[in-house]
Amino acid sequence: MASFVGLSASQSQFLYRFSLPISSPAFISSSVHLKKQAPVRRLLVLPIKCSSSGPSQDTESEAETTSVPSSSSFPSSLASSNSTYNWRAGIGAVGIIETAYLTYLKLSGSDAFCPLGGGSCGDVLNSDYAFFFGVPLPLLGLIAYGFVTTLSLQLSAKNLPFGINETTGRLLLLGSSTSMATASAYFLYILSTKFAGTSCSYCLASALLSFSLFFISLKDVGLQEVQKVVGLQVCIASLVFATLSTSYSNLPSAPSSQANIDLPYFTTEITKESSPFALSLARHLHSIGAKMYGAFWCSHCLEQKEMFGREAAKLLDYIECFPDGYKTGTKMIKACADANLEGFPTWVINGQVLSGEMELEKLAEVSGFQFNE
């Protein structure tokens, strides 16, 4: 046996080619024919492949190569999961910043700076729909985004609390994002029906974040898992919708005039007297061609003029974007539209754009003004 195994590859193939198995009919007939002449020694050929060390190594290397993709598929899947967790954590962080800002405005009683639509978003943010059973909506949004962000970071770090496994964590993210997306869809409906013609950039941004979290969670959980819990998701969405409807069922309907605004142009008198510093700064801004864009109904624009005072405000290069009044669908004049304004008031000083009310010291710094008493 040992000598057979030690044969070379060509010798073993020769024996295998000219040796027949014991059960072969040709072998049996040959044995009967030769029985009369001499005793026959039957050779049992073992199915052992004898080869040199080279092919054996090749076979082993092929096996190793074949096993590599299966072993590397897990790290790839892990990296993909971590990527979706990081995406959700990032989106949640943006939502935290937005809702924290709006919560601060609610608690401090301040007006929000509206990047788009001028002050119209303040009508929405200060309406009765901005509260849920007496609790400011931005505060609830802050809690929701905080939960999603925290859980996503814990899933990415594989450090879940209370013995929660990764599958349960994913389902919790799916459930929370489902409730957030449902609430956003409900408020978009309220915005389009109760506040027709009104723009609310913060509302639209929050809806975009919520829907993004929902679709990422759907993709992460997978179709098969979603089908198992689709009934639960429908129940969550129905519960959120029913709760919101109950909360706002007793609110009075928005007046029809809100949908068809017709605001004639008016002017507001500035009562404050200008200081020497304000007068000198206004002359300097006029000399360098600095411009202030605003709207007659904008309270922040009026407050900015009050900072300068009655005499200095007349020296400013102020551009009224709605000189003929404002109606639903009215567009700004061409000078304002070309300036790509994000809100009122907006300053353009030496090519630099400043949005919102500015302290006089800030305007002096940006414009390079130095006051000499």
Q: Per residue of the chain (373 residues), give pLDDT as tens.
A: 444 334 444 444 443 444 444 444 443 333 334 344 444 455 444 444 444 444 444 444 444 444 444 444 444 445 566 788 899 999 999 999 999 999 998 888 777 777 665 556 777 887 888 888 889 999 999 999 999 999 999 988 888 888 888 888 888 999 999 999 999 999 999 888 888 777 788 899 999 999 999 999 888 887 777 788 888 889 999 999 999 988 887 665 544 444 467 889 999 999 999 999 999 999 999 999 999 999 999 999 999 999 999 999 999 999 999 999 988 767 889 999 888 887 899 999 999 999 889 999 999 999 999 887 6
pTM: 0.50
Domain 263-367 carries which CATH code?
A: 3.40.30.10
Question: Are domains 81-249 and 263-367 of this chain identical in fold?
Answer: no
Structure tokens at 298: 């904008």
At 263, which helix (H) or strand (E)?
strand 262-263
Per-domain residue ranges of the chain: 81-249, 263-367
Strands (E), 109-203: 131-132, 135-136
User: Could you give the dihedral angle defined by the CA atoms of residues 200, 204, 210 and 216, in that order, rounded to the nearest 10 degrees?
Assistant: -170
Residues 6+ apart with CB under 8 A from 266: 296
CATH 1.20.1440.130 fits 81-249, yes or no: yes
Phi/psi at 6 (5° precision): -80, 0
